[in-house]
Amino acid sequence: MTRKTNDSGRSRYPGGWQTLGQAAAELRRRVFIDEQHVPEEEEWDGQDPACLHFIAFDAGQPVGTARLLPDGHIGRVAVLAQARGRGIGLALMRKAIEAAQLEGHAEVQLAAQIHALPFYERLGFQAYGQEFLDAGIPHRNMRLPLSC
């Protein structure tokens, strides 16, 4: 079942891949494959059917997405270039964190592109471990303890 909440004209829908996959896939293709040149075979990792997905809409159009894996990792956070800087990514992350809390996870983790570290730090995430390459892009692992 898909839930809807409104926030300043934007809506976020958590749901399954069957319901949200088409919109999520198109957003991820545009951001990761087209813009960031991530190879398709690395983007489509086969984990989507097991994840909870989030889509942000603005003026009725999908502009951002994220997913929560069953183990509490958040990933594939993507916002279209023309929609960045308007709080959409923060709203998606807050919904994903809230969902992880509701599922009883003690923490959430993610692999952040280096340029996005300050974005995730604003949400309370802390980086750990060494920098590594994922799809040729420098990343660091981050985690956020949750109070369930």
Tens of pLDDT, residue by residue over 4-44, are 334 444 555 688 899 898 999 999 999 999 999 999 999 99
Apex CA 48: angle with CA 14 and CA 80, to 5°?
65
Model pTM?
0.88
> What CA–CA distance (Å, rounded) separates 54 from 68?
8
Task: Return the pLDDT at 47.
Answer: 95
Task: Return the pLDDT at 14.
Answer: 81
Tens of pLDDT, residue by residue over 50-103, are 999 999 998 889 999 999 999 999 999 999 999 999 999 999 999 999 999 999
Secondary structure of residue 109 in the 3-state scheme: strand
Please name the amino acid found at residue 74: I
> What CA–CA distance (Å, rounded) separates 30 from 11?
20
**In this structure, are residues 108 and 100 in contact, taking their beta carbons and an 8 Å threshold?**
yes
